[in-house]
Amino acid sequence: MIVCGIDIGSVATKTVILKDRDIISKSLALTKASPKLAAEEALSKALRQINLSEKDISYIVSTGYGRRIIEFGDRTVTEITCCGRGATQIGSPLGKIQTIIDLGGQDSKVISLDEEGGILDFVMNDKCSAGTGRFLEVMASVLEERIGDLGEIALRSNNPVRINSTCTVFSESEVISLIAQGRNKEDIISGICASIAERIAGMITQVGKKESIFFCGGGARNRGIHRFLEDKLGVELYVPQEPEFVIALGASLIAIESLKKI
């Protein structure tokens, strides 16, 4: 059986296609102003890679903030559920996953899992862009750096600047002031990454800190945030090879399970 999971995020839309639980294709498209078109593009790209068409897909599960906007899906599932499912499937060399950090474009989530990998509790920051990928995007623009380079630049700092504001708008003004003061760019970026890590660490305390932590979402590629989180929490975090596809993978696995029930 061939199934598909589509994670329609605020910044990027990800697609994973499975055949008998094996990944045979995946793709990513920028969501931009049209989640529907992004979902169609991501699915089309993934299908072209394996010379298949949409009619070859037996079941499609959509997730993410735009999950209800597509017309070709068979079922919608929350990203919390899909994230837990995808992370559990991937697993971690650090042991059975107990906590998941998902750093996305417009929200960040901390999910606590039970012994069977089910959702025990979660906390979500979706009311403010501070501590999300959008926050990093704004800061990268102010500092005239590529968002993908921020993590590596942060690691070069020897004296991180403390960012006091927890609001993206006020943080932007604070960073502009720091630039005007002649502060080292590496130290500013390091401070930005540290502030995100501190915010996420605070969310973890709300669901209860556990030792085996899985870090996913596009923001997990930022090695600066990764390092500051490990320092703040005092534990090692596991980041999968392609952290941005974890939720789409979870959706595709749920597609298999849903198809079997028909």
Residue ranges of the domains in the chain?
2-80+246-260, 94-239
At residue 135, the pLDDT reads 85
At residue 126, the pLDDT reads 61
At residue 10, the pLDDT reads 87
Give yes or no for a contact between 248 and 13, defined as CB atoms under 8 angstroms apart: no
Specify the long-range contacts of residues 95-99, CB closer than 8 Å, at least 24 apart: 95/211, 95/212, 96/212, 97/212, 97/213, 97/214, 97/238, 98/210, 98/211, 98/212, 98/213, 99/204, 99/207, 99/209, 99/210, 99/212, 99/213, 99/214
Residues in the chain predicted with pLDDT less than 70, given as ranges, are 126-130, 166
Give yes or no for a contact between 4 and 15, defined as CB atoms under 8 angstroms apart: yes
Give yes or no for a contact between 73 and 15, defined as CB atoms under 8 angstroms apart: no
At residue 169, the pLDDT reads 77
At residue 167, the pLDDT reads 76
Query: What CA dihedral angle connects 207, 219, 224 and 213, to 10 degrees?
Result: 30
Among the four given CATH numbers 3.40.30.10, 3.30.9.10, 3.40.50.700, 3.30.420.40, the one describing domain 2-80+246-260: 3.30.420.40
- Beta-sheet strand order (sheet of 108-113): 119-125, 108-113, 99-103, 213-216, 237-238
Instruction: Report yes or no on whether pTM surpasses 0.75.
Output: yes
Q: What is the pLDDT of residues 119-165, one digit of tens each?
A: 999 999 866 666 777 888 888 999 999 999 999 999 999 899 998 87
| Angle ∠(190,165,79) on CA atoms, nearest 5 | 80
What is the spatial distance between Cα 79 and Cα 89, in angstroms, rounded to a whole number? 15
At residue 137, the pLDDT reads 87
Looking at domain 94-239, its CATH superfamily turns out to be: ATPase, nucleotide binding domain (3.30.420.40)
At residue 254, the pLDDT reads 97
- Shared fold status for 2-80+246-260 and 94-239: yes
